[in-house]
């Protein structure tokens, strides 16, 4: 496959707003996770909360879209000049030739949770101010981003849990290759809500300690929220892109509703598919950003898959100790982190790793690895066996 240029990208997480703040935290080993609650939910865990959302000004013509999830999207659009870059791209190709492909999982559930507090006491009716289609619905974030950017191309949302915003890279890749669009805004947005926090607590997947991927005493994940966007264009855009999409692999093993295949069969299939599409061997991958949730079963399954495909020599880390698990936004966030690693020649470490589980054999980084990186892989695996793996190349 001919690589696709990535001409711009940005992200907003608990680490801060934008590429520079993110890279500084990755380089310095500074986590954005804090032990705290959110709204009325306090599950005794560490969370990655994005600050500044309540203070955003809002356009009157888009008032019905106002919710935490779309505010998170808007904040990212305003960061690193991303919206301006999209406007330039739309001027180059035409607004109808720029698609929007986004991932989300929780979407705007919080808006409906808040509306339930305002139900009519006699009928139980929700308030008229709740605009389900523009806020709660999973499609709302793509509708909002397209409207906010003034785009007219195709738009859709992928909602496959934690692989959502990695899979949109593959969706955009296909759309560009088929000639349906000339450019695409891709990424993911997922905001905190009480359903998510209580739900993962009920599944016994959260930890009272900060998450510790691959650690012998890992006990569960730390949840975060984030927005990440990238701009993909066919050749003919800016002369020097920020990176390249070399390959994207997807699989669906359907092993269990929430647990991964114990041998990581679907995960390995996705990684091999990405390598095959890119025409690369495992030895040509310089660093692998793991899905790395810090739950016992997920880390063990991914370790088996990674070792089966890459062996034990490839440097790896999970960056969820920095941002928390941002669910439907995780793939987009970690693709941006992979691009930062390529740009700066620095692979970030796995935070909070004290003693690696002796049953896990992947080479986990405990300190930043400063090295010229040419190819980076990024894994994202979701509930129901929905797997995605991306291969990203250095800017040139």
Report, as residue numbers or ranges, the catalytic residues. Answer: 162, 291, 325
Residue with tokens 């209580």: 198
Interatomic CA distance for residues 133 and 143, integer angstroms:
9
Helix, strand, coil percent values for the chain (each to nearest 5): 35, 25, 40
Return the H-helix or E-strand segment holding 230. strand 226-233
Interatomic CA distance for residues 27 and 349, integer angstroms:
9
Evaluate whether 158 touches 103 at the Cβ level (below 8 Å).
yes
Buried-state track 173-198, b at ≥16 Cβ within 10 A, e below 16: bebbeeeebbbbbbbbbbbbbbebbe
How are beta strands 183-190 and 226-233 bridged, if at all? antiparallel
Residue with tokens 């990024």: 378
338: left (phi over 0), alpha (psi -120 to 50) or beta: alpha
Neighbours of 313 (CB within 10 A): 9
Q: Angle between the 140-149 and 82-93 helix axes, to the nearest 10 degrees?
A: 70
Return the H-helix or E-strand segment holding 317. strand 315-317
Tokens of 224: 């975060």
What one-character DSSP code corresponds to residue 239? S
Evaluate whether 212 touches 222 at the Cβ level (below 8 Å).
no
Pick the closest to residue 385 from 289, 251, 195, 186 (CA basis): 251
Neighbours of 203 (CB within 10 A): 13
Evaluate whether 188 touches 378 at the Cβ level (below 8 Å).
no
Residue with tokens 């995780």: 330
Pick the closest to residue 158 from 149, 150, 167, 169 (CA basis): 167
Interatomic CA distance for residues 352 and 380, integer angstroms:
20
């Amino acid at each position: 496959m001919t690589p696709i240029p990535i001409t711009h990208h940005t992200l907003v997480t608990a680490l801060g707003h934008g590429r520079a703040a993110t890279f500084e935290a990755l380089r310095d080993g500074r986590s954005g996770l804090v032990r705290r609650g959110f709204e009325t939910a306090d599950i005794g865990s560490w969370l990655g909360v994005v600050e500044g959302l309540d203070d955003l000004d809002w356009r009157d013509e888009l008032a019905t879209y106002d919710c935490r999830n779309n505010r998170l999207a808007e904040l990212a659009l305003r960061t690193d000049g991303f919206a301006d870059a999209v406007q330039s791209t739309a001027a180059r190709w035409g607004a109808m030739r720029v698609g929007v492909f986004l991932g989300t999982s929780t979407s705007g559930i919080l808006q409906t949770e808040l509306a339930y507090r305002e139900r009519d006491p006699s009928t139980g009716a929700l308030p008229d101010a709740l605009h389900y289609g523009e806020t709660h619905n999973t499609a709302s974030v793509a509708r909002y981003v397209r409207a906010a950017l003034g785009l007219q191309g195709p738009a859709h949302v992928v909602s496959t849990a934690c692989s959502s915003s990695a899979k949109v890279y593959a969706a955009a890749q296909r759309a560009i290759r088929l000639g349906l669009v000339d450019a695409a805004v891709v990424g993911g947005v997922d905001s905190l809500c009480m359903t998510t926090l209580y739900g993962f607590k009920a599944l016994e997947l959260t930890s009272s300690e900060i998450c510790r991927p691959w650690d012998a005493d890992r006990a569960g994940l730390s949840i975060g929220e984030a927005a990440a966007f990238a701009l993909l264009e066919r050749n003919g855009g800016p002369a020097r892109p920020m990176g390249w999409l070399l390959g994207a692999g997807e699989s669906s093993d359907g092993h269990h509703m929430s647990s991964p295949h114990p041998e990581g069969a679907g995960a390995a299939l996705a990684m091999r598919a990405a390598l095959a599409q890119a025409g690369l061997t495992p030895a040509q991958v310089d660093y692998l950003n793991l899905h790395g949730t810090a739950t016992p079963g997920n880390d063990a399954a991914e370790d088996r898959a990674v070792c089966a495909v890459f062996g034990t020599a490839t440097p790896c880390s999970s960056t969820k100790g920095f941002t928390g698990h941002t669910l439907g936004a995780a793939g987009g966030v970690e693709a941006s982190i992979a691009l930062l690693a390529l740009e700066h020649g620095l692979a970030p470490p796995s935070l909070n790793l004290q003693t690696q589980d002796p049953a896990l054999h992947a080479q986990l980084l405990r300190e930043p690895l400063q090295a010229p990186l040419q190819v980076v892989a990024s894994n994202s695996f979701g509930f129901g066996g929905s797997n995605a793996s991306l291969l990203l190349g250095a800017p040139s």
